[in-house]
Amino acid sequence: MFNISNRYLYILLLATYSFFNILLIDGDRLFVFEINMAYLFLTIFANVILVWEANRLIQVADILRKPFNRLNINHLIINFIYSFICCLLISLISVFIIFEILSHPFQNFYVNFKLAVGFTFRINLFLNCVNAIVFYVNRYSATKVEALRFQKQYAEAKFDALKNQVNPHFLFNSFNVLSTLVYKDQDNAIEFINQMSKVYRYVLKHQDEKLVNLREELDFIDAYIYLLKIRFQEKIDFDIQLSGDLESHFIAPVTLQILLENAIKHNEISKSNPLLIKIYNSIDNNYIIIGNSVKPKSDKYIDSTFVGLKNIKARYQFISNKSIEINFNEREFIVKIPLLQMLEHESINS
């Protein structure tokens, strides 16, 4: 507080206020004898500036606080103790100078010294109170900023953890399919490896991003769907109908993959009951919609906590004020994923 810019302007204003305060309340009784108004103002101004500057120097002088380090005393109290001593010295010097200038007899020195001490103490108390208020307001603001920083770090760490929750079973199942293809159909095995590399290349490339271009996500999904079709063949079918400007929209990476994996995980997939998955955009082009036919698995031990959906919800709560929409009935399960625009992408990934 004592190092603020234009501090001398504040010192002048405080001295002026104190001057008129003394005139209106006490007359010129900063001294017990008559004194010229100019001398009175200069004395008040000198005392104010000396008290202010003494506090400023005390505030930046760490060496003064070293003797108190082991006592764990608040540095505001330590500063006030030092400023109290400075006030005594300032009062003593100012009264001595006035007596010398006016050639006034020293028999009234003690009484005038007490009046000067009372004035400098009031100024010092006022300044230290303001300084304490500024100190605690700044500490509160710094604490709040620090709390927000930790909150952001926690949210980003949580987001990264959510983003990395790509179902590990996918890798296991893919290698199972690949081991079969190697013996039965080497050409398809090579293509399977190519598509599988696209999938993991995409995951690695965008693992640190919060949003990706929708076109890139769809290219990734094309490779992923190829792997699923090789794995399930006629047991799964896809109906993809997308239109409009896909390049100008953005989506959280791997969102569609999680939804496809979620549909496979919770539904029966067989020749007699093939799983149908639809991917299309809304009429207003603000959502991409993923729907699948519903045929719940009969296995009572299957995990039905829908971790994938909770994952996506949490990610969109972090990156956008838009939320996903879920609708379902006995025949179809539908998830609407909001598409974000370029400005949102730039602000989120910056």
Residue type for 132, please?
A
Q: Residue 312, Cβ neighbours under 10 Å: how many?
A: 24
Using only the alpha carbons of the chain, give its radius of gyration: 38
Give 251's strand partners. Answer: 212
Report yes or no: 65 and 75 within 8 Å, Cβ to Cβ.
Answer: yes
Write out the H or E segment, with its range, that includes residue 250.
strand 250-251
Domain borders along the chain are: 7-160, 164-349
Residues ≥6 apart with Cβ < 8 Å to 92: 113, 116
Confidence (pLDDT) at 301: 38
Confidence (pLDDT) at 300: 47
Sequence-ordered alpha helix ranges (H) in 164-282: 168-184, 186-205, 214-232, 255-266
C-alpha 139 chain-centroid distance: 17
- What are the average pLDDT values for consecutive 10-residue runs of the chain, which has 350 residues? 66 72 61 75 86 84 73 79 88 85 78 84 85 84 79 59 56 78 80 86 79 90 90 92 84 88 88 92 89 79 61 79 88 92 57
Confidence (pLDDT) at 291: 94
CATH class of 164-349: alpha beta
Among 229, 92, 258, 97, which Cα is nearest to 169's?
Answer: 258
Nearest-angstrom CA–CA distance, 180 and 188: 10
Nearest-angstrom CA–CA distance, 35 and 47: 16
Confidence (pLDDT) at 250: 92
Report yes or no: 80 and 128 within 8 Å, Cβ to Cβ.
Answer: yes
Confidence (pLDDT) at 302: 47
